[in-house]
Amino acid sequence: MILASASPRRRELLGLITDDFKVIPATGEENIPEGTSPEDAVRLLAERKAHEIYSANRGEVIIAADTVVAVGGEILGKPRNEKHAAEMLKFLSGRRHSVFTGVCVIFADGSREIFAEETAVDFYPLSEAEIDNYVASGEPMDKAGAYGIQGRGALIVKGIVGDYYNVMGLPVGRLNAALKSRGSL
């Protein structure tokens, strides 16, 4: 089994399902066509990543994922810099947003399963000082929506509706069920 991701969080989460996997990160571009819905975007990106790795590793089970944060259909990616991270957090302050994670599993026989999970996340209203302190911690810089629920970002999350692990970047329960249903565990 191969995880097509460099994310340490995804590696940790896949480890809840199995410790029998290796990591080969996909390196392709993460471009999506204008007007693509967040749900379709994460499915498309996960599928591209999985196919990139499968092409050189046929016969292996490949797992790829992609996560975005969205408000009203507008996708917020990873922040480009600290200023952009602060802008994202200000935009999310006191609001509900959705976290979408798309997963593509290509099984050893070449068949595949692609799905997307959505979790609603509510933020507390954030002061400028709270945003500045969080951005200064460095935590927001490599995360969709500029926060990590599993770290200091937990302090700004008022609540969630849905899969907590989806917000971290891999809906492990649903992935586990997909792998079990195909005899891959």
- Give all strands (DSSP E) within the chain, no chain letters: 2-3, 22-23, 62-71, 74-76, 96-106, 112-123, 157-161
Q: Which pLDDT does position 59 carry in this prediction?
A: 94
Q: Which residues pair with 22 in a beta bridge?
A: 2
Q: How would you classify the pairing of strands 62-71 and 96-106?
A: antiparallel
The CA angle 133-127-82, to the nearest 5 degrees, is 40
pLDDT higher for 72 or 89? 89
Distances (CA, A) of 122 to 45, 132, 178, 180: 25, 19, 28, 32
Torsion, Cα 70 97 152 40, to 10 degrees, reads -30
CA-to-CA distance for 2 and 125, rounded, in angstroms? Answer: 40
Catalogue the active-site residues.
Answer: 66
pLDDT at residue 39 greater than cutoff 90? yes
Mean pLDDT to the nearest integer, 14-40: 93
Residue-wise pLDDT tens digits, 79-127: 999 999 999 999 999 999 999 999 999 999 999 999 999 999 999 999 9
- Give all strands (DSSP E) within 107-156, no chain letters: 112-123
pLDDT at residue 77 greater than cutoff 90? no
Mean pLDDT to the nearest integer, 120-143: 96
pLDDT higher for 64 or 183? 64
Q: Which helix (H) or strand (E) holds 13?
A: helix 8-17
What's the DSSP call for residue 3? E
Q: Which pLDDT does position 178 carry in this prediction?
A: 96
